[in-house]
Amino acid sequence: MLTKLLKGLFSSTPATSGDEPETAVEHEGYRIIVAPMRNGSQWQIAGRIEREIDGETRSHTFIRADTMSSRDEAAEHTLRKARLLIDQQGDAIFG
């Protein structure tokens, strides 16, 4: 049991519980899927940006090292980061 606890504390792989719902938001013709990831007792900024281009759905997944103490706070920062990526890079984000 102690080994499992220590492994969880020092693991470099983010763990998600899988039961948190993803939230989708539209921005400038892009769909932002907000999906923060649990990392120990913290929440890591993570999400996906999608857009249909020429009949094909293109997708860009991002995970940031930033962590927050609550899922709601991480979701807010995820949305802000995704909007910034879209505004700065546009469709180039998929290339």
SS3 19: coil
Distance CA 6, CA 60 (A): 33
> Domain 14-94: which topology?
Double Stranded RNA Binding Domain (3.30.160)
User: pLDDT at residue 79 above 90?
Assistant: yes
Residue 53 contacts by C-beta under 8 Å, 6 or more apart in sequence? 91, 94
* Rg from Cα positions in the chain: 15
Structure tokens at 54: 């020429």
**Rounded Cα gap, residues 4 and 19, in angstroms:** 21
Share of the chain above pLDDT 90, in %: 75
pLDDT digits 0-9 by tens, 20-48: 678 899 999 999 999 999 999 999 999 99
